[in-house]
Chain A
Amino acid sequence: MVREESFRVQSSWADKPFCYRAPYPEGALTPYEFQLAGAEYCLARKHALIGDEPGLGKTCQTILISNAIEAKSTLVICPASLRLNWEREIWKWSTIENVQTYPVLKSKDGVHLKSNYLIISYDLLRNPSLLSALLSKTWDHLILDEAHLLKDPKGNKRTKTICAEDGLRNVVGRMTLATGTILPNQPIECYNAIRLLDWDAIDRMSIESFRRHYYAEGGGWIRGPHKVKDKKTKEWVTVNEVRWSEHVRNVPQNLGELQERLRTNIMVRRLTKEVLKELPSSRWHMFPLITNTAIKKALKHPGWGDAEKMYQMDPNGFSGAIPIEGAVSTARRLLGEAKALSIVAYVKDLMNSGVQKLVIGAWHHSVLDILRQNLVQFGLTYMDGRTSPINKQLAVDNFQQDNEISIILGQMLPLGEGWNLHSAQDVVLAEPDWVPGKNEQLLRRILRIGQKGRSLIGHVPLIPDTLEEKIVRRAIEKDITIYKTLDERER
């Protein structure tokens, strides 16, 4: 039986505002109707989460909310690489005349509490002096960009700084979270966000109750102290290692109900294909690499044996998120290095076939170095975790505006968050991630407002008939399951 959607759930899908248009600066820029609808949804609630698919302009919507509530002081917390990007967006969308923005780039810069928008990274929140300064005043609006960074169910320092009773939540009038991937891997990852925004939305469940309600028991790998019988001494000893258990709550259930709770109470989320119909479709293209001697050697590393055992025991639960030993990481790095030259050859073919702009992502510095040295001839900009925020912004600007620069190469994490790289139509995942959601993030950098291409392709290099191929295929398929949790709609 198809249940009728309530108005609140319908408004979480809205592509145009119902009865309120948030103010925006008069001029050449006009927000999309669905962006105004997003701001309206959030205003109707005390706190809210903008969970639109990546590329739909969440930053703009959060600033529209500040405009609507006439916020005089807004605190923006975002990944370090996006601070300058945020500043630009504020200049573009804020209705405050001569708006004062203050991005905190270094801890020694201190904070400027009288600015209209103070922009700080999650990492700098760990600085006690900066944090106490931020806690010393009341903020009209707190914006948490890429809010899936609060996902850690155990509560890391970053999460506690914001979510604790005496944390930043205590000194803000309104909170808006923005992330296109609120569930990078598992439903439990949205618990902190729900609890922060509206705990009543899940009937004030504890994290254990949440786990019991949304996960059924299944087998899986766990790490922790447990007792084993020593074969030689025949005595029970406590060891701390990864082991298999049949009583791990890891089979998601009741996902439809979770989605309804999210959409009714805190989350507005629209899909690109529904609100930006003019954007092209995107697809993954797996391309096989020829197995050369270097690749064969890398595949003989013992780490692959360990990964193979884990995968055989639990193919569905296997992902980069499970506890894995260091040997597996080494094996992945060695394989990445061995594949690098084959990927260079593939990229050269792409460029010679007429591709104008290309985004390439990889994980390991050694792999990035090989790619950088061999592709510099096409005009290349670069970023990794060590690149300063200013140089990251410069790399993106050069790639977007300079016709002489055809490739932007970077580490998956800094390159995959927040940037607008719509001048390209192709992405190459030189080292695809095993965690679902991360690969999608990189592809979404090009599937954004302003994209004029007809078809977007994510190229994934794979060595046929290997474990890596199985894992990556499954990770990309798993993306589909996650998006079903958030987006499957009964009509």
Chain B
Amino acid sequence: MPEITYTFTAESFQDLKDQMEAEYATLFPPVDDVHSRLEDHIIAENEKAEAKEEKKEEKPPRRRRATTEALKEEKPARKRGRPKKEPAPPPPAPEEGKEPVEVTAADGVKAATEGAEKLGPGMILQILEEDFKVKNVSELDPQQLREFVETIKFEMPN
């Protein structure tokens, strides 16, 4: 049987290829398009989800039941409309080998008496009212008590 030989040139081969792809495209829709829509859908869904999450993050986190006690403590301050106190500065580092001495009410009274002796009772009452907004040493907290004693020491001569 005689052997048939097909000779293709480069151009004919390219034409044939184009023709076959066109037929294939009519029979089957292009797969790439399907993929891209699906991908678009997934991306869109992801973006929505991310957007939701971002919105959630913007809202204050929902308080847990465990924080109830903390809430109770904050309540009176909110009712009275007090501005939130700034966190107290860390206490000064103790000197080496020395512990900070606690200032007691008795120290406050002693300082007030010594101050009244040297500066006059009016001056002590003025310090209490203007610097600490109180009328009695007993209304000062420990930090204020320390400041009160230091203020009087500073004001006193020698």
- Chain A interface residues (CB < 8 Å from chain B): 6-8, 11, 17-23, 40, 43-45, 68-69
Chain B interface residue count, Cβ-Cβ cutoff 8 angstroms = 20
Query: Chain A interface: which of B26-34, B36-44, B64-72, B130-138?
Result: B130-138
Closest residue on chain A to residue B148 by CB atoms: A19
Residue B149, interface by CB 8 Å: no
* A11 contacts across to B, CB distance below 8 A: 113
CB distance from A48 to the nearest CB of B (A): 11
* A68 contacts across to B, CB distance below 8 A: 105-106
- Give 6 new A-B contacts, CB below 8 A, not counting A8-B113, A43-B110: A19-B109, A19-B124, A20-B108, A20-B112, A21-B138, A44-B112
A7-B117, A20-B136 known; A44 vs B125 contact (CB < 8 Å): no
User: Pick the contact of A69 from B106, B112, B120, B135 — CB < 8 Å?
Assistant: B106
Closest residue on chain A to residue B135 by CB atoms: A19
CB distance from A17 to the nearest CB of B (A): 8
12 contacts between A and B (CB under 8 A): A7-B120, A8-B113, A18-B116, A19-B137, A20-B112, A20-B136, A20-B137, A21-B138, A43-B106, A43-B110, A44-B114, A69-B105
Top 3 nearest A-B pairs (CB, nearest first) are A44-B113, A43-B109, A20-B137
* A69 contacts across to B, CB distance below 8 A: 104-106
Closest residue on chain B to residue A174 by CB atoms: B106
* A6 contacts across to B, CB distance below 8 A: 117
A-side interface mostly: loop
Q: How far is the CA of A67 from the CA of B137 in the complex (A)?
A: 15
Q: How far is the CA of A21 from the CA of B104 in the complex (A)?
A: 14
CB distance from B121 to the nearest CB of A (A): 6
Among A8, A18, A23, A45, find the residue whose CB has the most chain B CB atoms closer than 10 A.
A18
- B109, A7: Cβ atoms under 8 Å? no
CB distance from B58 to the nearest CB of A (A): 47
Q: How far is the CA of A17 from the CA of B110 in the complex (A)?
A: 13
CB distance from A213 to the nearest CB of B (A): 25
CB distance from A41 to the nearest CB of B (A): 8
CB distance from A39 to the nearest CB of B (A): 9
User: Pick the contact of B121 from A18, A20, A40 — CB < 8 Å?
Assistant: A18
CB distance from B156 to the nearest CB of A (A): 13
Among A6, A21, A22, A44, find the residue whose CB has the most chain B CB atoms closer than 10 A.
A44
Q: How far is the CA of A21 from the CA of B138 in the complex (A)?
A: 6
CB distance from A134 to the nearest CB of B (A): 24
* B108 contacts across to A, CB distance below 8 A: 20
* B137 contacts across to A, CB distance below 8 A: 19-20
Closest residue on chain A to residue B124 by CB atoms: A19
* B113 contacts across to A, CB distance below 8 A: 7-8, 11, 18, 44
Q: How far is the CA of A437 from the CA of B95 in the complex (A)?
A: 56
* B136 contacts across to A, CB distance below 8 A: 17, 19-21
* A17 contacts across to B, CB distance below 8 A: 136
- A23, B138: Cβ atoms under 8 Å? yes
Closest residue on chain A to residue B116 by CB atoms: A7
Q: How far is the CA of A44 from the CA of B125 in the complex (A)?
A: 16
Among B110, B114, B138, find the residue whose CB has the most chain A CB atoms closer than 10 A.
B138
Q: How far is the CA of A8 from the CA of B109 in the complex (A)?
A: 12
CB distance from A428 to the nearest CB of B (A): 44
Closest residue on chain B to residue A11 by CB atoms: B113
Bitwise interface map of B from 83 to 125 toward A, beta carbon under 8 Å scored 1, else 0: 0000000000000000000001110111011101100110011
Q: How far is the CA of A8 from the CA of B125 in the complex (A)?
A: 16
- B117, A18: Cβ atoms under 8 Å? no
* B106 contacts across to A, CB distance below 8 A: 43-44, 68-69
Q: How far is the CA of A44 from the CA of B137 in the complex (A)?
A: 12
* B117 contacts across to A, CB distance below 8 A: 6-8
User: Pick the contact of B105 from A8, A18, A20, A45 — CB < 8 Å?
Assistant: A20
- A44, B104: Cβ atoms under 8 Å? no
- A44, B138: Cβ atoms under 8 Å? no
* B104 contacts across to A, CB distance below 8 A: 69
Q: How far is the CA of A11 from the CA of B135 in the complex (A)?
A: 18
Among A17, A19, A22, find the residue whose CB has the most chain B CB atoms closer than 10 A.
A19
- B109, A40: Cβ atoms under 8 Å? yes
CB distance from B103 to the nearest CB of A (A): 13
Q: How far is the CA of A7 from the CA of B118 in the complex (A)?
A: 9
- A44, B105: Cβ atoms under 8 Å? no
Q: How far is the CA of A40 from the CA of B121 in the complex (A)?
A: 14
Q: How far is the CA of A69 from the CA of B138 in the complex (A)?
A: 12
